[in-house]
């Protein structure tokens, strides 16, 4: 019988400070609890709309509120956390501590799918906190290169935690007795792919470079790429990115003309940065079109960006289209 290393033992061997490990353990433990809440669905009365909107003026699901509170409460109780920021909250929340780490998170990515039993997830990022003062919003506005750790939990047929600290990307599966067991060590994304993920219903709104790229994919063997592509789209970033982690592919959520003043839909601090760090550490690439997402200097807590990430060679093809204009 195979013996799996659990998360605590894996963390003990990682070259990271004890405070960072405490933060990761806190998030992982809360994600295990969230998995049970998500799985209970209608049995616990947690499905459906909450009757409120978040800072992005999006309808909140009951589980958005529940999971946000679970993570916020857990992180406020962690001695290594100086402050937190959530996609569901307008402002940062200092904990009253100085030093240690800041945590940003999307408590339930893909929550619009929860009522139809499609995979959803939690995405998080850990940043260094200032050592000499209580954190303000400005202290959270660090580039993705500064992340001390990042990860996501995907609540699907199995619940998995995909995590990076100092280097590499590793995947843990939640066991029946609520242990995170290392089942996918050293995750690596294939450099080449014939699979893309994008919301095709928005095609008429895309910029010309995106339309050219997708048109080339759809033409298959007869087109400029001279190979057949498959399309996948879950409409839950964490599920689409997890598929790429497991078997390669490219994920795109580009700018579109319906909201021309908004550069994109996905949030830099809560979604794009942590996913980009994971993808790069697994050998893939991530860009907003031309520059690497991890090199963007944030200017706002809830800043949005276009996102292209996944198999390295395919991301470069898309980048070349964007540079061509």
- Within 8 A by CB and 6+ apart from 89, the residues are 54, 55, 68, 72
For position 53, what pLDDT does the model report? 57
Residue 115 is predicted with a pLDDT of 82
For residue 318, give the nearest of 188, 169, 193 by alpha carbon: 193
Per-residue pLDDT at 2: 81
Q: Indicate the Cα dihedral angle 274, 65, 237, 104, nearest 10°.
A: -10
Q: How many other CB atoms sit within 10 Å of the CB of residue 267?
A: 23
- For 261, counting Cβ atoms within 10 Å of its Cβ (0-12 exposed, 13-18 middle, 19+ buried), the class is exposed
Would you give per-residue pLDDT tens digits along the chain (325 residues)? Answer: 689 999 999 999 999 999 999 999 999 999 999 999 999 876 666 655 645 555 555 556 789 999 999 999 999 999 999 999 999 999 999 999 999 999 999 999 998 888 888 999 999 999 999 999 999 999 999 999 999 999 999 999 999 999 999 999 999 999 999 999 999 999 999 999 999 999 999 999 999 999 999 999 999 999 999 999 999 999 999 999 999 999 999 999 999 999 999 999 999 999 999 999 999 999 999 999 999 999 999 999 999 999 999 999 999 999 999 999 9
Per-residue pLDDT at 60: 63
3-class secondary structure per residue, 214-257: HHHHHCHHHCCCCCCCEECCCCCHHHHHHHHHHHCCEEEECCEC
- Cα gap 82→134, rounded to integer Å: 7
Read off the DSSP letter of residue 144: G
Beta-strand relationship, 149-155 and 159-164: antiparallel
The 10 Å Cβ neighbour count of residue 182 is: 17
Which phi and psi angles does 8 have, rounded to 5°? -60, -45
Residues 6+ apart with CB under 8 A from 178: 32
Q: If DSSP codes are grouped into helix, strand and coil, which group holds residue 125?
A: strand
What is the total residue count of the chain?
A: 325
Confidence (pTM): 0.95
Cα radius of gyration rounded to whole Å, the chain: 19
Specify whether the CB–CB gap between 31 and 153 falls below 8 A. Answer: yes
**Mapped to the 3 state alphabet, what secondary structure does 259-284 carry?**
CCCCCCCEEHHHHHHHHHHHHHHCCC
pLDDT value of residue 111:
85
């Amino acid at each position: 019988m195979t013996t799996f290393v659990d998360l605590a033992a894996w963390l003990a061997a990682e070259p990271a400070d004890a405070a960072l490990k405490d933060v990761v353990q806190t998030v992982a433990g809360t994600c295990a609890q969230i998995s049970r809440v998500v799985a209970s669905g209608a049995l616990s009365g947690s499905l459906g709309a909450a009757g409120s909107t978040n800072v992005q003026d999006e309808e909140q699901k009951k589980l958005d509120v529940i999971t946000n509170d679970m993570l916020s409460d857990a992180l406020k109780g962690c001695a290594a956390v100086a402050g937190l920021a959530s996609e569901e909250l307008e402002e940062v929340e200092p904990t009253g501590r100085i030093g240690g780490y800041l945590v940003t998170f999307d408590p339930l990515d893909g929550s619009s799918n929860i009522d139809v039993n499609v995979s959803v997830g939690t995405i998080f990022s850990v940043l260094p906190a200032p050592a000499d003062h209580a954190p303000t919003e400005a202290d959270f506005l660090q580039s993705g290169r500064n992340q001390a750790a990042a990860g996501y939990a995907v609540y699907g047929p199995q619940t998995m935690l995909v995590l990076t600290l100092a280097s590499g990307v590793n995947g843990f599966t939640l066991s029946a007795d609520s242990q995170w067991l290392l089942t996918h060590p050293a995750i690596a994304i294939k450099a080449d792919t014939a699979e893309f993920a994008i919301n095709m219903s928005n095609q008429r709104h895309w910029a010309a470079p995106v339309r050219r790229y997708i048109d080339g994919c759809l033409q298959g063997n007869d087109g400029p790429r001279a190979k057949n592509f498959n399309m996948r789209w879950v409409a839950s970033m964490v599920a689409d990115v997890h598929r790429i982690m497991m078997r390669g592919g490219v994920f795109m959520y580009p700018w579109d003309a319906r909201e021309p003043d908004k550069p994109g839909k996905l949030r830099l601090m809560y979604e794009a940065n942590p996913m980009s760090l994971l993808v790069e550490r697994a050998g893939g690439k991530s860009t907003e079109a031309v520059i690497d997402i991890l090199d963007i200097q944030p200017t706002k807590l809830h800043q949005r960006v276009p996102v292209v990430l996944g198999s390295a060679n395919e991301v470069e093809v898309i980048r070349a289209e964007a540079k061509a204009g």
